[in-house]
């Protein structure tokens, strides 16, 4: 594993926000097709890919299975499952492009595919063709499948200015 990057900010994403942004991604992609298939980069790309496939009325959905994160640490990219072909007329969907390490591997596998993500960080942004929201490199995105509702103390408590 590489050393954990310093994340100064968190960006929590609700299910509703992810759905809305995934639909916005579909709107951006609508006139760029037609697409033969949608290929989700697992695991994070599964939910956005399902939403985009529905909105674009694409029935053929496949996966590229890649592991590179353990908690908040990025390790070596492990390809667990690939997709066939060169990617022509295929749409790759992922939740996020971060450092670009995963995206580089996916691009080598399917060089002619259109690569789209819901969120993009500056280091990885040049590797995707389409995205919806850019966040800073030092932000950790909290996706809805990784979080659960719990008590959060008031901000004033954290600063020690409680009355």
State the catalytic residues.
Answer: 94-95, 98
Whose tokens are 């996020």? That residue is 96
Question: What does the DSSP assignment read for 65-104?
Answer: EEEEEETTEEEEEEEEE--SS--TTEEEEEEEESSSHHHH
* CA–CA distance, 157 with 163 (Å, rounded to integer): 9
b/e code 20-58 from CB counts within 10 Å (16+ = b) = ebbeebbeebeeeeebebbbbbbbbbbbbbebbbebbeb
Residue 1 tokens read as 């594993």
């Amino acid at each position: 594993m590489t050393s954990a990057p310093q994340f100064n900010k968190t960006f929590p994403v609700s299910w509703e926000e992810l759905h809305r942004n995934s639909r916005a991604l579909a709107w951006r992609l609508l006139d760029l097709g037609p697409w033969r298939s949608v290929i989700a980069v697992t695991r994070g790309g599964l939910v956005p890919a399902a939403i985009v496939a529905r909105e674009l009325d694409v029935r053929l959905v496949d996966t590229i299975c890649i592991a590179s994160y353990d908690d908040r640490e990025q390790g070596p990219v492990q390809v667990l499952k690939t997709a066939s072909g060169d990617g022509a007329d295929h749409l790759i969907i992922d939740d996020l492009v971060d450092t670009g390490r995963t995206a580089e591997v996916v691009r080598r596998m399917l060089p002619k595919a259109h690569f789209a993500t819901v969120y993009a960080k500056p280091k990885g942004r040049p590797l995707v063709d389409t995205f919806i929201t850019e966040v800073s490199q030092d932000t950790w995105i909290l996706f809805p499948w990784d979080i659960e509702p719990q008590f959060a103390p008031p901000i004033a408590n954290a600063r020690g200015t409680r009355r």
